Amino acid sequence: MNITGNTIFIPGATSGLGLGLALRFQAAGNHVIVGGRRTELLDRIATEHPGIGAVQIDTADPSSIERATQQVVAEHPELDTVILMAGIMEFEDLHTADFLETAERTIATNLLGPIRLIAALVPHLSNRPSATIMTVSSGLAFVPLPATPTYSATKAAIHSFSQSLRVQLADTSIQVLELAPPAVATTLLGQENDPHAMPVDEFLDETMSILESNTDATEILVDRVRFLRFAEAEGRTDDVLALLSGRV
């Protein structure tokens, strides 16, 4: 991926890593459009960061995805990159059926949302001379956090879907990247003060450095996620799972 001169749509960019990436990409010389559910946050971002576009979108709602993607393409026909940041992470107790509502909400947002966005945008992106789809999985795609089983499962599904998407789109102009963050100190699951979480700026610095220095990368992996990504290959899955079981 060339990190400058793009027009980038980032649904799920009103806070946390999504907003952080939006600002880093804008600073690198890209035109960025952020997406999110809350119009007041979108308005604030557009006011505080001149040049950033904003589109209201609920990635759990198919009709909202259809409306928002049509708006983005109509207003920004030069769109060539989408970064699928939107996601939720919630604790689940599997002892009773009470977790089911959370599981369904997580699947709708974390798995169906990105798939629907990809379906809506591939026809446009495939007509661009060069384009990028960046999915966002997690280190937990490779070893699950037992306290968030559906979140972990959706991220494993995103990893698998990304691999298939990359193969199927190999005959197009679209590059498929997968960003797999470790635990980062954001409000996702209240990790902003977690001593185990990676500082946000450190994550953003390393991610942008990888994108700039390794334009042919398919997986964007900061060093602190590698113990999860390669746990199975290194025969450490049980040990890492036991470690994650204590972080609840």
- Is residue 83 a contact partner of residue 32, using CB atoms and an 8 Å limit? no
Strands 31-36 and 53-56: parallel
Annotated catalytic residue 151: yes
Burial of 35 per CB tally in 10 Å (0-12, 13-18, 19+): buried
Count other C-beta atoms under 10 Å from residue 216's C-beta: 6
- Catalytic option among 151, 155, 184, 222: 151
Output the CA angle 92-59-151, nearest 5 degrees. 25
* DSSP string over 198-230: BPHHHHHHHHHHHHHH-TT-SEE--GGGHHHHT
Length of the chain: 248
d(C-alpha 42, C-alpha 132), whole Å: 24
d(C-alpha 189, C-alpha 106), whole Å: 13
Which positions are catalytic? 151
